[in-house]
Chain A
């Protein structure tokens, strides 16, 4: 290795983490609509709504968690809703709730960063099924075609709210939340938008539930869930300048990739990096929000990684949002954050919270976001 390359290798991360202010939250979960309902359910251990979403197919025999009432007519409108699949409706409802929680309307230099895994697997697989079932394979409904494309929900959110900033859809699965926040921070830094709606969405469908059921990736008693969560974020300095109060700050969002036999060490490593880049020490962490509850084998990997990173036992407050909402795949990450914020509100906490939010995929992706309430929040 030449000296020049050795020097180049030595240039470790120089970028200071740009803190983001979370100024509003919109959630649609099996606890109901809104952050308060989620915070109460998580705080008081109230299980989420457990009825299946009706479709043409029967879901597998296992517990489910679904959003009880999307109130679409009231929150999205009546016209043009007919073609929107449940993924898009969940995303639109969560955005509506987030926007309604704002004092003033968002400008058109607002963008959207939305996490998914496959888009609506019900929409794409049903569309594919239609090509097999129809007398001629092309006798499909053209108006449903956009639903089969993964960026449908983000596009509809932009159209319905006139948001012309960056519009990104990330197929991150369980990592989508932390990836979306990382992507958002960079997009804000680059000026692709002034403010962003950062979210994750996952719908319940028989197709998806059978997929989980057959994959063996969930414990037998782990419910398949659904939900959407959207955070309104902007650079903390911009929120302060505009006098917009923040619910919390997003500090570091780190991701990495580990070999399958080194997932715990890989996750511990990104948690450590995330804390360092956030200027935090393990002793300051008050809360961890787990992403692997109910995921066979991975739940123990996650807890071991946190033990490694935090130097021993988990902190006093351990949030397991999936006990309320079920397995929400690409909505998990942002729901884990929303659950912390909802819980902090529910318990009346106004200062001093620092949360580590972990994400893990059996494929090797590991991620961690750090959220805090450090004052002054402005």
Chain B
């Protein structure tokens, strides 16, 4: 994952944050880079898929469904999205 040359722009990063805050109905301060969606924020797998779906739609990327397991916190989401952006914007 660290080998990716693509990095997220500040705008993309804040977009990701906003999506997660909105889907999980959180305040800014509650979400940290490593707070767990499921353990700390009461997410279930449907909400996890909603995060993935919103990112695909809003950022125009395609994320494979099996990447969901990595998307358990904000850092995980960043890593997956970074990789998907690096792989091109469409499948």
Q: How many residues of A contact B (CB 8 A)?
A: 9
**Min CB distance, B52 to chain A, in Å?**
8
CB-based nearest B residue for A145: B46
Q: Does A9 contact B (CB under 8 A)?
A: no
Q: Which of A79, A80, A82, A139 contacts B53 (CB 8 A)?
A: A139
Chain A residue nearest to B58 (CB atoms) is A139
Contact with A along B40-53 (1 / 0, CB 8 A): 00100011011001
Assuming the contacts A79-B25, A82-B25, asked whether A143 and B50 have C-beta atoms less than 8 A apart, the reply is: yes
Q: Is the CB of B49 within 8 A of A142?
A: yes
Residues of B within 8 A of A82 (CB): 25
Bound-state CA distance A143–B45 (Å) is 10
Q: Which residues of A contact B53 (CB under 8 A)?
A: 139-142
Taking Cβ atoms with an 8 Å cutoff, the residues of B that contact A are 23, 25, 42, 46-47, 49-50, 53-54, 56-57
Q: Which of A122-144 contact B (CB under 8 A)?
A: 134, 139-143
Q: How far does the Cβ of B15 sit from chain A's closest Cβ, in whole Å?
A: 16
Do A139 and B50 have beta carbons less than 8 Å apart? no
- Ranked nearest first, the 9 interchain pairs of A and B with the lowest CB-CB distance are A143-B50, A142-B49, A139-B57, A142-B50, A142-B53, A143-B46, A79-B25, A142-B46, A141-B53
Partner of B47, one of A134, A139, A140, A143: A143
Main secondary structure of the interface of B (DSSP, over half): helix
The docked-state distance in angstroms from the alpha carbon of A119 to that of B43 is 26
Contact B50 A141 (CB under 8 A): yes
Cα distance A168–B23 in the bound complex, in angstroms: 30
Q: Which of A34-86 contact B (CB under 8 A)?
A: 79-80, 82
Given contacts A79-B42, A143-B46, A143-B47, 12 further A-B contacts (CB under 8 A): A79-B25, A80-B25, A82-B25, A139-B53, A139-B56, A140-B53, A141-B53, A142-B46, A142-B53, A143-B23, A143-B49, A143-B50
B91 to chain A minimum Cβ distance, whole angstroms, is 10
Please, which residue of chain B has its CB at the minimum distance from the CB of A80? Answer: B25
Contact A134 B57 (CB under 8 A): yes
CA A140 to CA B25, docked complex, whole Å: 19
Closest to A139 in B: B57
Q: Closest CB of chain A to B28's CB: distance in Å? A: 17
| 13 pairs of residues in contact across A and B, judged by CB atoms under 8 Å | A80-B25, A82-B25, A134-B57, A139-B53, A139-B56, A139-B57, A140-B53, A142-B49, A142-B53, A143-B46, A143-B47, A143-B49, A143-B50
B42 CB contacts on chain A under 8 angstroms: 79
Report B-chain residues with C-beta under 8 Å of the C-beta of A143.
Answer: 23, 46-47, 49-50
Minimum C-beta distance from A160 to chain B (A): 15
